[in-house]
Structure 1
Amino acid sequence: MSSSDTLPNRTRIPLLRFPQLVRNEVFAFWDIFEIYEFSLLSKVTKSISKNMKKRNTSMSLEPFGEDHQVTLSSKDEDGGTLYQFSKCPSIEPSDQLLNESYDYHPISTENSVKTFGSLVEHIQDVFAPETNHVIFDNSSYRQVGEEELKSYLNWFNNNKKLGKIQNLYVDIKVPGFKVFLENWRVDVGMMDARFNESEVCTVDFKVDRLVVSDRAKWLDFNVLRRFDCCEIATENTFSNQDMHLLLKDWKEGKSNRRARLLWLGMGERAKWKKILEGLDAALRDLRTVRRSFRFNNNKELWDFHGGFDITRIDGKVATVGYCYFQVTDEDDPIEPYMLEEYDRISRVWNSVDNDEEEEIEDVIVVPEGVLNEYNTEQGYIESQKRQRKEGRRDFIMIVW
């Protein structure tokens, strides 16, 4: 209920004159919005609101959101509740919002970085939430100009209470995406970048986990060095020379010192003699060397079979190889095609010839039981050849 609403024929209750224990009993029944409204009445009520016993909350921010810009999430015995705040020209919510399953709180004010910042800072003061998600997405609502975008980025960069952003989602069209990358300064836990067409640019923030869909033109090794990621997953088109420089810098302790898992797409087949030249790499036997590793914020566990080990100047060991040919789910058996590829790699690695084969012709054996009216022999063979060709461009690096 808004603080300006009045109830006819009702006696006002002098809540602030009640004993503390009585007030606490009343406050215990209030939800997020009621506490928020109470905190707006005066400096005294804001101070009381800050000291109330409240549920722990996390905050998500979407500055360019059409329907809401700030969301508080709280968990309880029945699950969780979303409390969504929206700046809008009218205090009356739209029919669409009224039909949503979450609680909605319209705030009658202009939509600007000043009002957005004031709302977030007030919520931070009262509820002290952890900043869980920040979403920059103007792909479907309205186009945001460069100066407006910079004003929001400047606010985020200077709001120290936000701390490290746990999850950052960015889907802004050119040229806004480049403006974002060049002006954002807050370190990020996980960054999910959905726009790929932006040109290469400079960045000045760190990212623990980077997820990039498809092939991102803006993501080169200078950007990766600055991000200093713990985990990366991207389908880019890096070259053998790129990979060599990346591993050389890592071995010398010049970049990617925090790396735990780098899963990088290549634009050509990985040629290990070129990639590992001068790095004192040791090939491990795929049949006998199996090591487990966790990724995706420790949520998943996989096994790495064989691979090339290289050692950093401080003694840290990394293993590189193909994800497709060397990684399985935990305790899964090694497949025949993985053994075939290992034998080929071992033969080339141990040969005196520095050149690798120009072309690889895979011989596909069709197992029993895989063919049917939808999966023909020719279709199966072509599919397997395509997967193996793509698998040889699937670079992975694990740091133990």
Structure 2
Amino acid sequence: MDPPKPFPILRLPYLAMEEIFKAMDPIEITNFSMISKRTKYLVSCAFEMTSGQQMEETAEGDGYILRRVFKYLKNPMEKWKQLCKYVLDIFKKPETNGVSMTMDASVDFFFIARCSPISRLSICSSELDPPKSFPILRLPFLAIEEIFKAMHPIEIINFSMTSKRAKAVTKIMTFYSKYAICLCVDKTMGISIKGTDNLVSCTYVMISNERMDGITKEDESYGYISRRVFKYSKDPVDDWRQLYIYVLEIFKKQTIDVLSMTMDAFVDQNVSIIDFVKTNAKSVSDCHLYQLEEKNDVDEHAAYLLENLKIDNQLISYLYIKTSEWIGFERLLEIDCKSVLLRNDPFWEEDWNLFLKTWIAMDTHLNLEYLALEYRDLDYFRNHVLYDIPHEVVDRGVKRVLKTGHNQTQEISGGVDIRRIDGKTATFFSHSNSFSMSVH
């Protein structure tokens, strides 16, 4: 009997060769690819270089199969580098999917840096030896930058505070533009740093409860991650100011993305806080003003803020006025918001009739998308407000998805429609405890 002859894989058609390769495990493909230049093909495998004898080990669990090949080498580090280059070349990989580093092993950081970009970096210490400090500052700049990209903003801030050199290195990173800085002036002072399309939020919260100092809370819901670090302070406003200056310096920011201010939280310090923000920020992209108690008179402070801070976003997206008796008709026509909620409004049917006529003529409220008022009967509104305005009563069997609040929609039956001269439609309907106008 003749000995078996080698299988002439290279003589097969390409599709047949491809099917054979699909049936091979990565180590078989790798070994085959090393036979000659002609056999060099796509390969994916994992090798462990050890000082032991050559052997093979296969383990299977939970449907996952792991095959490892152990090779004896006098210089495992050098051979490992050669194999890394070979695998990346064979698979035409532009990046390394993952790097797991035991920091107290013999790691060549300069070689790791040349493997960039790295999708995932896992760092650990030896199980036998006590953990050693991670020498980040000894790495090449590209490797340091990859590590910084894997950190969240609070980790970056904490690292920058370890030394002058750490602060200097932190400040030269070039990817900070993706972060948004948000200031919160409320019963608790806060500074948020948001990234990853606002899906991740890291917030410093100034508190007066010493037992909460240093506690970190992390919440995750609907794909949104929120991390909060609580910092005890005897003077939360002053410490908030110092941290704010430091955050702007580290992240090289000259503007505030969001300023959220409850005007009666620190009434005595409103003016000084506004002056501080004005001095240390060129502008504010979005500004949200709130009031806790109606009895607190903060109108002058609100006006002072609007007069002294440069607000880039001139269009207010959402306006809710709980007590709107003080708003005159002229002021109503000046409101330029996407969503407006008015409670206890003082206007008569004649006022709303004129308001809608200015909207139809596109003289006012071009950006209005949703208006909510106190509950009123739809037929009464049609007879006493729309009496001389062309309108259409929509059958209740007709269902449409309409705006029912700020960034909210719902399927609504029927309604009454009017049309603007540009073709846009406003639908009136009663919803919950309010009367609504939805523009679509």
TM-score (norm 1): 0.56
From 171, 191, 195, the counterpart of 1:49: 171
Structure 1 residues 275 and 30, CA gap change in structure 2 (3 angstroms): closer
Q: Partner of 1:63 in structure 2?
A: 185
Within-5 A mapping of 1:24-173: 24=145, 27=148, 31-39=152-160, 45-46=167-168, 48-51=170-173, 57-66=179-188, 68-73=189-194, 82-86=202-206, 94-98=210-214, 101=217, 103-104=228-229, 106=231, 111-112=236-237, 116-117=240-241, 119-127=243-251, 131=257, 134-136=260-262, 138=264, 143-145=266-268, 148-156=269-277, 159-165=281-287, 169-171=290-292, 173=294
1:323 aligns with 2:430: yes
From 360, 363, 368, the counterpart of 1:251: 360
Amino acid at match of 1:33: I
Aligned counterparts of 1:98 and 1:45: Cα–Cα separation in 2? 21
Structure 1 residues 259 and 81, CA gap change in structure 2 (3 angstroms): closer
Structure 1 residues 155 and 217, CA gap change in structure 2 (3 angstroms): farther
**Per-residue deviation at 1:20?**
1.7
From 297, 301, 309, the counterpart of 2:410: 301
- Superposition CA RMSD, Å: 4.5
**What CA deviation, in whole Å up to 9, does each residue of 1:279-309 have, x standing for no partner?**
x322334256554324545442333514141
1:276 aligns with 2:396: no
1:241 aligns with 2:350: yes
Within-5 A mapping of 1:1-40: 16=137, 18-24=139-145, 27=148, 31-39=152-160
**Per-residue deviation at 1:271?**
4.2
Structure 1 residues 187 and 250, CA gap change in structure 2 (3 angstroms): farther
Q: Greater relative contact order (Cα 8 A, min sep 6): structure 1 or 2?
A: 1
Identity of aligned residues (%): 16
| 8 A Cα contact 2:359 2:420, kept in partner | no
Amino acid at match of 1:235: R
Structure 1 residues 168 and 47, CA gap change in structure 2 (3 angstroms): farther
| 8 A Cα contact 1:259 1:399, kept in partner | yes
| 8 A Cα contact 1:69 1:85, kept in partner | yes
**Per-residue deviation at 1:94?**
0.8
Greater strand fraction, Structure 1 or Structure 2? 2
Structure 1 residues 171 and 188, CA gap change in structure 2 (3 angstroms): farther
Amino acid at match of 2:436: I
| 8 A Cα contact 1:206 1:228, kept in partner | yes
**Per-residue deviation at 1:207?**
1.6
Amino acid at match of 1:104: V
**Per-residue deviation at 1:59?**
4.1
Aligned counterparts of 1:157 and 1:291: Cα–Cα separation in 2? 46
Amino acid at match of 2:439: V
Q: Where does structure 1 lack aligned partners over 5 or more consecutive residues?
A: 1-10, 190-204, 325-386
**What CA deviation, in whole Å up to 9, does each residue of 1:34-87 have, x standing for no partner?**
422454655983464351657955544222443x421335679xx956431538
Aligned counterparts of 1:111 and 1:308: Cα–Cα separation in 2? 52
Q: Where does structure 2 lack aligned partners over 5 or more consecutive residues?
A: 1-131, 219-227
| 8 A Cα contact 1:241 1:275, kept in partner | yes
Aligned counterparts of 2:278 and 2:182: Cα–Cα separation in 1? 16
**Per-residue deviation at 1:232?**
1.9
Aligned counterparts of 1:276 and 1:288: Cα–Cα separation in 2? 22
Aligned counterparts of 2:258 and 2:234: Cα–Cα separation in 1? 25
Amino acid at match of 1:275: V
Paired residue total: 291
Amino acid at match of 2:338: C
Aligned counterparts of 2:217 and 2:353: Cα–Cα separation in 1? 52
